[in-house]
Structure 1
């Protein structure tokens, strides 16, 4: 899901040289003026720094250091307060949430955060964010009820509200109200780091915010106390995966994100020069179907495609090492509250003969099935190659359209340009957090009475114990109507320098509470 503009190897290396010329250096603590700095190799150039406006992982990874939400998730995926003083007071009917803010939280502009900032920020989020728009249809009123109190009034009970407000990607980020604009030109938040400088195709530079008001609870996941122990964070776009590997091995980066799985043996044999990191249960790849126009707008044709696909073979092509993927049709892992086997007999069928018969009965007449993908993520592209072959064996006219990731993000907004696109998501504790196709209006444009009925039952049930079974009904509808296909689960590979201390693997890597050993 991370977005970016692809650079060639030469461009990536020139950006490293530019960092050195700026004084960043590549040693454990070398930086301009002797400041401690982390050089962090990211998969791409961020398309924007507006964390509200996009679900792109890369934007979240960078700007979660600048902005904070009202609530977040701890190490056990439980909701905990961040800018809120405590968890909200919720009315008996589940329609009124009263949120009290922490006192003394300072914005990067130097003034204290207040309820007007929160209301203005959330209203903007509900205007510009795909996730925010799905929440907006549930909201009857949003208002400041005092300097540090905000009321959110819902039309109906909506169980996922706090999880939506806590999600880091496409964050309901709280910003200084005077900085709000469309597009954003100033990045004024409350986080432990503040925005300093962006040089396109070279780096995004964040510096420590000395006025940061940390929580007092012990750090846990994204929650609790955040400390900016390192003075500068430099996020360097390095789209070539092999360049990220070589840079990590050479000590040029303190952290290198999303490395190819086949690099693991080299990292393990590097003699302690680098520390490989596996992030388990990182996420799931998924295939989004165009339900609005084109060859797959007809549901029986999508069912035939579903029958043709062998997700296990796709995962093997994408990740290779069986330690890094699990082929299973349940959306949520066994042992979690939303685990369900509903519909999974349709997973991983890989039955070309049956699929061809289904397609013919559905009226498929050889129209192109345009698969939109990118090489930004090797596993996306490798899975697309296998998928195209599986579809061809079932009689489909599969066409692979390989574009830059930024181009894919543009094209997926136009239903005339594609039939399937490949992306991935983190694995989150609330079903409504991902994929966005469960909401309204996301590319794919899935909408049906069965979807609305199943989701209404899930989202209006306040009892967590009952919501698990209700998710099973939603999962069944997904398998029946095929708006998207969850391919399986995967772990990610990244690497850190031995000098980087305190790093804990999470879906969206963060670098508060990390330090550099000299």
Structure 2
């Protein structure tokens, strides 16, 4: 273990010295997750029943945000901090359990027609919004129609189909083509298909809703920009009776207030945790020794994200697949993942665009193109493509070390085969904006959260990395419209095999992270790194 940390530390130090002059200015936060203990030895506070604690209960949970907050509109939410907050305010028709399976939440039940084209959702009755209004089909249809027209994942999948009211408590979705992943799409934590009052949705401006009213266990109180978001217990929350799991099942707000505080600097965030200002915090290799043997602190290991290298298919070079193949050939996934996690315990190699746990969609088709570590092949492909020393622009941010450290390692691998590079560093919100601009970048390396179905993979659609390819679109449609397990597997294998040829993105691997929590925090659930603060209590 020590040798891995020493190697990656020395490598990153050298890269920082070598490449700083080529990088634009940005805040210096380079912490990465690390932990020396086996995951099986880490206690799981979520397994401790809150009801069994006899200590006096506190009234406030304090949780840090590591990324800036460009919006609190759940339909527009792309970043981790957005989802961290909005998943505790809003709910959808479905929610993922701990196995990333969609479970009914605001939907009481649903039916799917035999041809997979018609979905009928029967809603729970008596569910109240935070403004006291009862949720009806009108609210659900308005919310989901706005969501499908706004969220990139939904827009490319649903087309012209719409959600329609059928009485006060039934919503019907009629599709032109069959879909096998509608429930999963309605569960996803980013571009969250949250249900809001119809009047809030209809009043929304292009940059988002101006009131944050949901049905969740906590209601919005205040957002002080660049400082904190304050939530409070919703006394009229209507819980389901199913067993709590992930973000699904029974929820109860066990504290009166929740404060999500912006703390983008790793060192400041951790020191604030030690000082008692936060109840939980992410842990990196520098801060781990201060908490790993503390009897008052527990470490939770959580499957955090997968890492992918996205190619800008509209850029001068990477519109040509041969340049994409050249970069893919040189990639050393272990080096990049070590730059993120600093220890093999917190990453795993994985050629699939889905987690292994997601059995229905996991595929190893095309895996011969994964993690090739072949600089000679890469150089040959560059020569065939006619590379003449053009600068390749790498888009990143320093607000979380995972982006920046991985990008530096990628830069080193590219320069080892003679590619001239430039690292462009922005604050997190600006990076997200730049990523949507055709002329602003060539390569983007970063984490992607909760890959649940192919339709949820942003880089497979034309609006993200500009994967405007007819064959890819055809195979994506076939994979998400197949009916029956055998047909789904065959279609999914064909999709992934072609993606490794077309290379909208190149898979790097999957990462875990550790979160340190205080012993006075009970019942915290993490899913994909996001906290479900319902059923979570804190001692005084």
Tell me the TM-score normalized by structure 2. Answer: 0.86
Task: Determine if contact 1:411/1:417 at 8 Å carries over to the other structure.
Answer: yes
Q: 1:90 aligns with which of 108, 112, 123?
A: 112
Distance 1:332 1:212 in 2: 34
Task: Determine if contact 1:301/1:362 at 8 Å carries over to the other structure.
Answer: yes
Equivalent position SS for 1:85: strand
Q: 2:287 aligns with which of 263, 269, 275?
A: 263
1:106-121 equivalence runs, <5 A? 106-121=128-143
Matched, 1:489 2:510: yes
Distance 1:463 1:263 in 2: 48
Q: 1:463 aligns with which of 484, 488, 492?
A: 484
Provide the residue aligned with 1:12 in structure 2: none
Provide the residue aligned with 1:396 in structure 2: 419
Task: Determine if contact 2:179/2:480 at 8 Å carries over to the other structure.
Answer: yes
Q: 2:190 aligns with which of 169, 187, 197?
A: 169
1:217-296 equivalence runs, <5 A? 217-256=242-281, 258-269=282-293, 271-279=294-302, 281-296=303-318
Provide the residue aligned with 1:499 in structure 2: 520
Distance 1:8 1:458 in 2: 42
Equivalent position SS for 1:505: strand
Matched, 1:353 2:353: no
1:43-62 equivalence runs, <5 A? 43-62=66-85
Q: 2:499 aligns with which of 478, 485, 504?
A: 478
- Residues 450, 378 of structure 1: CA spacing in aligned structure 2 closer, same or farther, 3 A cutoff? same
Task: Determine if contact 2:73/2:209 at 8 Å carries over to the other structure.
Answer: yes
Matched, 1:37 2:60: yes
Task: Determine if contact 1:329/1:344 at 8 Å carries over to the other structure.
Answer: yes
Provide the residue aligned with 2:463 in structure 1: 442
Provide the residue aligned with 1:126 in structure 2: 148
Q: 1:306 aligns with which of 317, 328, 337?
A: 328
Provide the residue aligned with 1:153 in structure 2: 174
Task: Determine if contact 2:143/2:194 at 8 Å carries over to the other structure.
Answer: yes
Distance 1:7 1:510 in 2: 29
Equivalent position SS for 1:282: strand
Distance 1:366 1:273 in 2: 55
Provide the residue aligned with 2:234 in structure 1: 209
- Residues 447, 8 of structure 1: CA spacing in aligned structure 2 closer, same or farther, 3 A cutoff? closer
Task: Determine if contact 1:337/1:465 at 8 Å carries over to the other structure.
Answer: no
Gaps of 5+ in 2: 1-25, 30-56
Q: 1:424 aligns with which of 447, 468, 475?
A: 447
Gaps of 5+ in 1: 1-5, 10-33
Deviation, structure 1 residue 7: 7.5
Matched, 1:186 2:211: yes
Task: Determine if contact 1:44/1:237 at 8 Å carries over to the other structure.
Answer: yes
Cα deviation per residue 1:380-436 (whole Å; 9 max; x = unaligned)?
Answer: 211111111111111211211122111111111111110011221124332322x31
Equivalent position SS for 1:163: helix
Equivalent position SS for 2:489: helix
Deviation, structure 1 residue 134: 2.1
Matched, 1:321 2:343: yes
Distance 1:259 1:198 in 2: 26
Task: Determine if contact 2:394/2:443 at 8 Å carries over to the other structure.
Answer: yes
- Residues 211, 334 of structure 1: CA spacing in aligned structure 2 closer, same or farther, 3 A cutoff? closer
- Residues 447, 441 of structure 1: CA spacing in aligned structure 2 closer, same or farther, 3 A cutoff? closer
Equivalent position SS for 1:509: strand
Deviation, structure 1 residue 483: 1.1
Distance 2:390 2:371 in 1: 24
Matched, 1:64 2:87: yes
More displaced stretch, 423-432 vs 48-57: 423-432
Larger relative contact order (C-alpha < 8 A, sep ≥ 6)?
Answer: 2
Task: Determine if contact 1:291/1:446 at 8 Å carries over to the other structure.
Answer: yes
Distance 1:128 1:428 in 2: 19
Distance 2:165 2:421 in 1: 53
Distance 1:475 1:307 in 2: 17
Task: Determine if contact 1:370/1:398 at 8 Å carries over to the other structure.
Answer: yes
Deviation, structure 1 residue 57: 2.1
Runs of 4+ that moved beyond 4 A: 6-9
Equivalent position SS for 1:383: helix
Deviation, structure 1 residue 100: 0.7
Equivalent position SS for 1:98: strand
Tell me the TM-score normalized by structure 1. Answer: 0.89
Provide the residue aligned with 1:31 in structure 2: none
- Residues 396, 8 of structure 1: CA spacing in aligned structure 2 closer, same or farther, 3 A cutoff? closer
Task: Determine if contact 1:373/1:422 at 8 Å carries over to the other structure.
Answer: yes
Task: Determine if contact 1:126/1:136 at 8 Å carries over to the other structure.
Answer: yes
